[in-house]
Copies of this chain bind each other. A is one copy, B any other.
Amino acid sequence: MDDYTKTPRTRLRRASQRGQYDRDTVHAILDAGALCHVGYVIDGQPYVTPTLYWREGERVYWHGSAASRMVRHQAGGEPICLTVSHLDALVLARSAFHHSVNYRSVMILGHARLVEDDAEKAARLKTFVDGLFPGRWDELRPMTAQELKATSLLVMDLNEVSAKVRSGGPIDDEEDYDWPTWAGVVPLHTQMGDPEPCPRLADSIDVPTNLMNFLDFDRYKKI
């Protein structure tokens, strides 16, 4: 089972060559991101909320305040959609019509549920923090029972999933390639600036190695 099963809801109708369903592609797109957009419906109105997420195996997780209306609705068993997208490049063609962008996106349909077990919650939150900043969890002031209680952890299985990817240069109409306009690709990258220490940080504390590891992540390049 290397592919997610296409369903009538995830099968691409148009530009179907851009649709991808294999697990490696989906996992790579998810693992390259930190911010997702979750769609959910309240009284017939869809809402799209940006939030951080992470993947472990065939599950994606995100968290929020236990007091959040959004969290309560997302955990209520109603259908939701979690989308991750990376805008990789602007694609400039000789005609406006063939301008495009390169991107990688994943859409996950299904239902979320709350992770209720405290030990499980703490373990998943550790993976979240250490996934961004390797080793950081153990260097932090330990999480209290009250903080754990105040944090809701949501999980969604990777069952009904599709990826969509565009890469490469402009594809113009054949008769347009001689049109005297610059055409090509302008890549976009997310990059990190210099870390800015908290004003109340002791001068003796340097930017730690785990943060420097993060700065070297493939997905973020240090300026």
Which residue numbers of A lie inside 8 Å of B, CB to CB?
Answer: 9, 13-14, 34-35, 37-41, 44-50, 52, 65, 67-69, 79-83, 85, 87, 90, 92, 94-97, 99, 101, 103, 105, 107, 109, 125-126, 129, 132-133, 136-137, 139-144, 147, 150-151, 169-170, 173, 176-202, 205-208, 211, 214-215, 220, 223
Contacts and interface: CB of A to CB of B under 8 A. Distances in A.
A206 B35 CA distance: 36
Contacts of A180: 202, 205
Nearest to A109: B45
Copies of the polypeptide in the assembly: 2
Contacts of A185: 195-196, 198
A95 B147 contact: yes
Nearest to A150: B97
A1 B195 CA distance: 39
A169 B201 CA distance: 11
A151 B177 CA distance: 22
A143 B96 contact: yes
A9 B45 contact: yes
Given A96-B125, A97-B147, A200-B177, A83 B48 contact: yes
B182 A205 contact: yes
Contact of A140 (B14, B96, B187, B205): B96
